[in-house]
Structure 1
Amino acid sequence: MRKLFLLFFASIFSISLFSQELKCNVQISSQQIQGTNKQVFRTLQSAVYEFMNSTRWTDHVYAYDERIECSIIINLTSKVSSNEYSGSAQIQVSRPVYNSSYNTVLLNFKDDDIQFEYVEYQSIDYNEATTPEGLAALLSYYAYMIIGLDYDTYSMEGGSPYFSKAEAIVNKMQNSSVSGWKSYESKKNRYWLIENFQNSSYSSVRECLYRYHRLGLDNMADRLTESRSTIAESLKLLQTAYRSKPGSYILQVFFDAKAEELVNIFSESFSEEKKRVYTIVSEIDPANISKYNTMLD
């Protein structure tokens, strides 16, 4: 009986100690593809879920409840060949705010250049030492982007090792026939997403991520006014990046995730601080000016 108890305890401890990094919800939509056995898409969804949530992406130890919350929604719109599909994907990442029940969105990104081959029941495998297959490359790239972004919000440029791994995948995929991996195809794709995070010209954006989340949001439960001021000051770092390179992709990615949150944070602020924040965000992110106008009501 004692041996059974020890085995049970060891298994529970092992699960807790070696839980993987991601808690990734996966959804595959194929409504626009007609005349195809839908079972293959259910199998694909299970395979993607297993790959994202069971792969060890770092050498760090994660408790079960420390996993990074994220989601990948893949909308397949066409069948390119017998086993090849194309479409888009929505990737969202969030993290808990300290001492609260609130989760803040870190990334809400749409990728319009999804194309990969999948044979039903085929395993998805990734090996850093080799050039990955299309689907494995796509998923591994986003896994490292998710982890890198999460780490950047806890320590200054803490995500750099994982951004480097995402960049390595982009470099390996330069000879791929599918789009999304190359600089000349678009100014808003996987290539430019990681290029901006790795580009020292945008280091102020990454500093903002740290100050905004770790020094600002994480302290709001205890020091609301001071923390809100810290967030307002962090936005000046984005202004620096914008004035250096207007229209930077990384800034659009930031505000796609944060526009509504900024309105919620500063709607209850005092008038002078509201105006300072409004002046900054309306300059950098005019696409969301209608949202920011409500902040002044």
Structure 2
Amino acid sequence: MERISRTFILFLIFNITLTQFINFSTNIDIRKVRDSNKFYFENLSEKIDDFFLINSFGPNIEYLDIEGNLHLMIESVAESNNGNIVSGQLILTNKADIIMLLKGFSFPTRELQNISLNQNSFNPLSSLLEFSAYMLIANELDTYDSKGGNPYYNMAQLIAISGKESDYPKGWEDRWKKCKEIQDNFFLRDIKYYFFLSYDDFYNNQTESFKNNVFQLQEAIIKNDNFIGLDNNTKNFFNAYSREISKYYYSIKYKDGLKYLSSYNAENKTIYQSALDTLK
């Protein structure tokens, strides 16, 4: 797990325009597409990768080094009065704790000719990619500042609203709800914030601050449990970072915290139990 320490962020911000994604990969499944229509998707994965790797999605966030993946499942290319329409589903990940099914989408095949960032207008395909970028950026910013991702969650919601009102509304209502659900779960966002504060402190030997942030992390976990239990977003977080969390709790001999996690996050119980057994 790579991460830039906050103490070095200011040194990484300079006037040259930099992008926020350092690694991005796109997988496209066209098995359901007729052979006669498969030519539409030639080089599409490279075009989408370039969309994320070349564009800058906002000011003063040049220090972000985000990794991401899109898995597009193309379900059909159908004829319509306005030309051929592509329909499918996609899964967005940050190769760690974000695994997001963005369900249905549709766009005209002409969109495949020019995939570019235009933050002032809605385009069914490019705006879908822009929405995806904002979701990953918002999640990452939440780990640097408490609720730091709000501006990008808000921009993602505005895109979804435009999508709902467009000629290609498929899936945008669901994406709007998903974005709002993630933004409104302040407790999971706090979990991520205090986890990465603990990460920085642990590897920079900031003992007192580390201990305080671990306790804040545990408090956020309890609040999240009371608020929503263990939803998929929370499960994905623990599946990505349970070993690291266990390491932190073990380092301060936090038995009560490990016992709580063993019950709350049963899927990773063996990890927490192993740390507990060592502390006995």
Look up the equivalent residue of 1:151 and give its one-letter code.
L
| Partner residue of 1:127 out of 105, 118, 130 | 118
Counterpart-to-counterpart distance in 2, 1:280 and 1:61: 33
Distance in 2 (CA, whole Å) between partners of 1:120 and 1:170 is 18
Query: Structure 1, unaligned stretches of length 5 or more?
Result: 1-14, 95-104, 183-188
Tell me: CA distance 1:36–1:204, structure 2 relative to 1, closer, same or farther (3 Å). Answer: same
Q: Tell me the residue number matched to 1:296.
A: 273
Distance in 1 (CA, whole Å) between partners of 2:259 and 2:105 is: 36
53 and 83 in structure 1: CA distance in 2 versus 1, 3 angstrom threshold: farther
Whole-angstrom distance in 1 between the partners of 2:273 and 2:93: 28
For 1:262, give the aligned amino acid.
S
Distance 1:169 1:278, change over 3 A: farther
Contact 1:151 1:158 in 2 (8 A): yes
Q: Give yes or no for the alignment of 1:165 onto 2:148.
A: no
Number of corresponding residues: 254
Q: Residues 224 and 61 (structure 1 numbering): CA distance in 2 closer, same or farther, change over 3 Å?
A: closer
Please state how far the C-alpha of 1:237 moved relative to its aligned partner: 1.2
Q: Which moved more, 1:143-152 or 1:220-229?
A: 220-229
Match of 1:146 among 136, 143, 150: 136
* 2:252 paired with 1:253: no
SS of equivalent residue, structure 1 residue 28: strand
Work out whether 1:195 is the aligned partner of 2:180: yes
Identity %: 19
The one-letter code sitting in structure 1 at the alignment partner of 2:86 is Y
- TM-superposed CA distance for 1:142, in Å, is 0.9
The reply on whether 1:174 has 2:164 as its aligned counterpart is yes
Look up the match of 1:92.
Answer: 93
- Report the equivalent of 2:127: 137
What letter matches 1:74 in structure 2? L
The amino acid of 1:84's aligned partner reads I
Provide the alpha-carbon RMSD of the alignment. Answer: 3.2
Question: Distance between the aligned counterparts of 1:281 and 1:128, measured in 2?
Answer: 45
Instruction: Find out whether 1:47 has 2:32 as its counterpart.
Output: no
Look up the match of 1:107. Answer: 98
C-alpha separation between the residues in 2 aligned to 1:264 and 1:245? 23
Distance 2:28 2:172 in 1: 22
Q: After superposition, what is the alpha-carbon deviation per residue over 1:185-236, rounded to whole angstroms, capped at 9, x for unaligned?
A: xxxx42222212433xx323322221111x1112322439874773464143
Shift in Å, 1:93: 1.7
The residue aligned with 2:28 is 28
| Range 227-236 or range 54-63, more displaced | 227-236
Question: TM-score normalized by structure 2?
Answer: 0.75
1:222-261 → structure 2 map (5 Å cutoff): 222-223=204-205, 227=210, 230-231=213-214, 233-246=216-229, 251-261=231-241
* Matches of 1:264 and 1:209, distance apart in 2: 12
Give the deviation of 1:239 after TM superposition. 2.5
TM-score by length of 1: 0.71
CA contact (8 A) 2:211 2:252 kept: no
Where 1:47 maps in the other structure, the secondary structure is: helix
Deviations 1:133-161 (A, max 9, x none): 22122111111111111111111221121
Equivalent residue for 2:4? none
AA aligned opposite 2:198: G
2:28, 2:15 → 1: CA distance? 29
